[in-house]
Structure 1
Amino acid sequence: MSEPCNTFAEGDNLAVLEGLSAGSVDLIYIDPPYNTGSAFAYRDRFEGHAAWTAMMRPRLVEGRRVLAETGAIFVSIDDNEAAHLRLLLDEVFGEDNFLAQIVVNLNPKGRQLGNGFATSHEYLLVYARDARRCVLDASSPDLVIESDFPLVADDGRRYRRLPLRNTNKKFNPLTAPTLHFAIWGDPDTGEVRTTPFDGAVEIKPVFGDGAPAVWRWSRPRIDQRPDDLVCRRVRGTAGDRVDVFQRDWRHPVGGARRKKLRTIWLAEEIGSTDTAVAELKEIVGHVFESPKPTGLVRRILETMPADARVLDFFAGSGTTGHAVALANAADGGRRTCLSVNHPEPVRPGSNADLAGYRTVADITRARLQAVAEKVGGGYAEPGPSS
């Protein structure tokens, strides 16, 4: 029988981490307590930043130990501890392994309570275990839209034209001499070749001001992919000239088109706190005040291979496990997720309490069991940790 998609361990997360093998996970996502005192289930009012950092340090150290050399960690945080967490992650993972500090727009309307600005964002800090070996791909197929590719070929495929010349002036005949050469093209038929042919004109790469440039492709690559190039007349500052362009296809051969992720993630792309509450309510009820949307975690999952071993040791309502099951159902992936949660008592009189949940771990368990029933992937529980 195949390994279940979701496994849940109830207990102290540090003890669970210490029991895991080194390098046994590929991706960690955690949403630790934010040290605000406002979360309904966690008693997360730590006495000062030092106490919060002291709580987090050994857990991040163990997280680094169990993370594979090719892996990465994503940590959600707000303004209260963002600066201290950044320093702590630099200490544990190394400054050279910092990948990004992403702004996540989880509350588009902004928080209207209290004084000051209407905060509408949190942060996502991203570090590699080893940046030189990390397999994280900071791109997503979901960001690619049809309008980015306005042209249509005779066979119906959509594409856009990109200059074949390198537009970065750091690359020129002095810095890249092997890429400065003449090619031949016919602007009437669009045909491009590396050798002369009837009707063709000689074309050398130049910048808009006429200064010598270089091509982005080598001669062998042009010979291999002539149908992906087109020759056209263009209007420049010095008058009309002939230039060569790449046909950049919407659906390239050999894999799905992806677009680099920006460092601002909008609620319209990944969901908001409101949509997260709604999706949790649909599956187990309104029992958690500020869950993360599954869309946020699914975007994180897209940056790693589809068989990634995922770990969330501040599992909260179980968003990460839910997102892993949804991602597998969508693309046939074989991701697995270990969720860990402490049996922290829920607040008396809270929605969770009124719904019959004694601890936050009870909520995590209920959600992941419901996900297994509704989405699939299976569920397992090794038993409580000491």
Structure 2
Amino acid sequence: MAKDRLQLTWYNKDKALIPTQTGRYGYTWVAPSDPRSCETHTLVFDDYAHGKQSPKVDKLNYSDRADLEPQNDNLLILGESGDVLETLTRVPELADKYTGKVKLIYIDPPFNTAQTFTSYEDNLEHSIWLTMMRDRLVHMRKLLARDGSIWVHLDYAENHRMRLLLDEVFGSSNFVAEFVWQKADSPRSDVKRVSIDQDVILCYAGGESTQFKRMERSASDNARFKNPDGDSRGIWFSDNRTAPHSTDSRGIQVSSVYGIIHPITGERLYPARGRQWAFKRSRILSALSQYTEFAEVHPDLNERSSETGIPVDRLREDVGDLAPVDMAKAEREARARLDRGDWPEFFVTETSFGRKSYPPEEGQPARSWWSNKQVGHNRSAKSEIKALFPGVTPFSTPKPERLLERILYIGSEPGDIVLDVFAGSGTTAAVAQKMGRRWVTCELIETTFNDFTRPRLEKVVHDQDAGGITFDRERVVKPSALVPDKFEAEDLQEATDLLNAIVKNFPVDEDVAGAIAKVKKVLATGPSKTRNWRGGGGFQVAHLSPACFDYDPELDRVLLTPDATGQVLVESVAANLGFRLLNAEDGYVFDARKGNSFLKVIEGAATTEIVDWLVPQLRPGETIVLAATSVMDGVREYLRKAVRGSRVVSLPDDIFRYSSEGV
């Protein structure tokens, strides 16, 4: 991060954090070089959860998404998010797979100042929160692909500070938008001042190459588009026929300011003051020539000045006006062309001109306001969790699957990697699996992991989750319904609900009831039976390895932990030194390799006899790193002489040489 950038400053920004209790939120500051903060853990792979895709049945419709190949290359980790990110970015086998290759990151941090940090003073609450997020965002920046995006879900408590922090880590030029989600479906009566209806989702791009998918157009989006002339290209609307006027470097009018004589009324029409024609002259002339023959005529500069507001001395006499060649037959020919239909893009009306604009073929850009009708709300999200875990309400503000569906649709494609390091109930991973994305997610709290995250994702791959986006829950218009432009199925359903309420709550006579029944038939909608997910795929379950290095404040030195033994110690040393593990079953004497350097980890003393055993295993140009829990006198020099460039690493001092004095 550049030092000359505008940055957010907070208490202890130069420090790191370590948990005060394993598996819980609560932190204390330490120096960044403290091994409790910077030790790289490895992953311990547990079992693998796998499901089969259900066959199709005739009574249901299926979307294209239901035919996607279910993803198997997914990872569910039990562990603290900071440690997990350190593992993904520093363990060579994992870094190769994930660094710079994650297409979309979504995080919904499950902590805030009002709940998690109640034991701290106010200035420390925000400082701890910012330090936590800063350390994690720095790792996420390494994982994010250059054409990827990160989406950070927040409420009002930390949104403004997070925006500055994201500017600092990802660069202000990569800010995309602040999306607003209407999370509430009704006001809360238990608040003192204002019932907050929305959350915000801050979105940053990984780089200039990041592109987002456009949204499919809805009926209301297309409401302003018509096709009154039978245009062969389809629906259109009459857009602004002019654009803002800009003079040349000398302040002289550009060639797009001139008059056009209307072929029906004979009136000379100009762009409005401060405007110019939106199309090039040749394009307009080509369109007008479909109505009658046009030609360039000498301009009346005084009239042009009066109509456009441009001083005469800044007008161009060489830019003529356009006029019909034969006004006597222009009106007749123009009306005939109007009656024929399928007008050109710059078209003639009875008294003026128009300009056609068509809906973009690729859809429309995502908008930053997401209503709960579009993507669900907290209440619908709770219903999704209750359907999976009846009788239990473990999460106060879960996120609906449709919300994550929109984010993943905009920012990723099937097969892309999606990351969420605050899994909670597992919504992000569940939606990613249903949308054919690969995913990595982790959860800190073991009870949440075992009781909700893992069981939910198992239900997804076993096709036991019929909620969320598994089915298209949108209502569809029945064939008997009449739907005016700009209205959609949900509008018809609201009207039907209103009519039902009238019949239920007010006495109506038989004639009125009959009329209401007829109207309801006209407004008829029904649930879609389209299925988007049929189960299948799987995920690897893993947990973080135990710590092998610890700092003892009383001794003021780094010690090996009781877990630092056997293969755990080997893998830890390899990860912290950046070595890639070798397979002992393939006959390797050494434990790991980095380039031409081979690592051997010894529990006990490094001796000259061990050096003599290892040296013959090398080929020319290769070196040894011998890591041992103790080192006999003279062994370091002995190894350096035996194999130039080799070295001995004493555990733990030569990996983490840390003390309170900073030695």
Shorter-chain-normalised TM-score: which range?
Answer: 0.7 to 0.9
Deviation track 1:24-77 (CA, whole Å, cap 9, x = no partner) reads 201100000241455xxxx56573101111111111110111001111111011
Matches within 5 A, 1:222-233: 229=345, 231-233=347-349
The aligned amino acid for 1:379 is G
Tell me whether 1:18 sits opposite 2:90 in the alignment. no
TM normalised by structure 1 equals 0.73
1:119 pairs with one of 196, 206, 230: 196
Q: Secondary structure at the match of 1:380?
A: strand
Residue 149 of structure 1: how far off its partner (Å): 2.2
Q: Secondary structure at the match of 1:74?
A: strand
- Structure 2 residue aligned with 1:193: 286
Cα 1:377/1:17, change in 2 over 3 Å: farther
1:322 pairs with one of 387, 405, 430: 430
Deviation track 1:332-374 (CA, whole Å, cap 9, x = no partner) reads xx422222211x15xxxxxxxxxxxx33454111111112222
2:180 pairs with one of 103, 107, 110: 103
Residue 263 of structure 1: how far off its partner (Å): 2.5
**CA distance, structure 1, for counterparts of residue 294 and residue 119 of structure 2:** 73
**Structure 1 range deviating more: 164-173 or 50-59:** 164-173
**CA distance, structure 2, for counterparts of residue 228 and residue 195 of structure 1:** 8
2:459 pairs with one of 367, 370, 383: 370
Residue 117 of structure 1: how far off its partner (Å): 0.9
Count of aligned residue pairs for this structure pair: 332
How much is the aligned-residue C-alpha RMSD, in angstroms?
A: 3.7
Matches within 5 A, 1:173-184: none
- Structure 2 residue aligned with 1:297: 404
Q: Is the 8 A contact 1:108 1:267 kept in 2?
A: yes
**CA distance, structure 2, for counterparts of residue 119 and residue 156 of structure 1:** 48
- Identical-pair percentage: 28
Cα 1:194/1:378, change in 2 over 3 Å: same
Q: Is the 8 A contact 1:149 1:158 kept in 2?
A: no
Tell me whether 1:306 sits opposite 2:413 in the alignment. yes
**CA distance, structure 2, for counterparts of residue 366 and residue 280 of structure 1:** 11
Q: Is the 8 A contact 2:78 2:442 kept in 1?
A: yes
**Structure 1 range deviating more: 87-96 or 57-66:** 87-96
**CA distance, structure 1, for counterparts of residue 255 and residue 404 of structure 2:** 44
Q: Is the 8 A contact 1:185 1:193 kept in 2?
A: no
The aligned amino acid for 1:150 is K
Cα 1:116/1:198, change in 2 over 3 Å: closer
Residue 9 of structure 1: how far off its partner (Å): 1.9
**CA distance, structure 2, for counterparts of residue 52 and residue 247 of structure 1:** 49
**Structure 1 range deviating more: 60-69 or 74-83:** 74-83
Q: Is the 8 A contact 1:93 1:129 kept in 2?
A: yes
Cα 1:155/1:17, change in 2 over 3 Å: same
2:143 pairs with one of 66, 73, 79: 66
Cα 1:79/1:196, change in 2 over 3 Å: closer
Q: Secondary structure at the match of 2:137?
A: helix
**CA distance, structure 2, for counterparts of residue 143 and residue 198 of structure 1:** 35
Residue 248 of structure 1: how far off its partner (Å): 0.8
Cα 1:182/1:159, change in 2 over 3 Å: farther
Residue 303 of structure 1: how far off its partner (Å): 1.8
1:269 pairs with one of 358, 368, 374: 374
Runs of 4+ in 1 over 6 A off after TM superposition: 171-176, 178-187
Rg comparison, structure with higher value? 2
Q: Secondary structure at the match of 1:359?
A: helix
TM normalised by structure 2 equals 0.44
The aligned amino acid for 1:133 is S
Deviation track 1:99-155 (CA, whole Å, cap 9, x = no partner) reads 22222210132333242211111111111222x222235x42255634232336648
Q: Secondary structure at the match of 1:383?
A: strand
Tell me whether 1:245 sits opposite 2:352 in the alignment. no
- Gaps of at least 5 residues in structure 1 are 213-225, 235-239, 329-333, 346-357
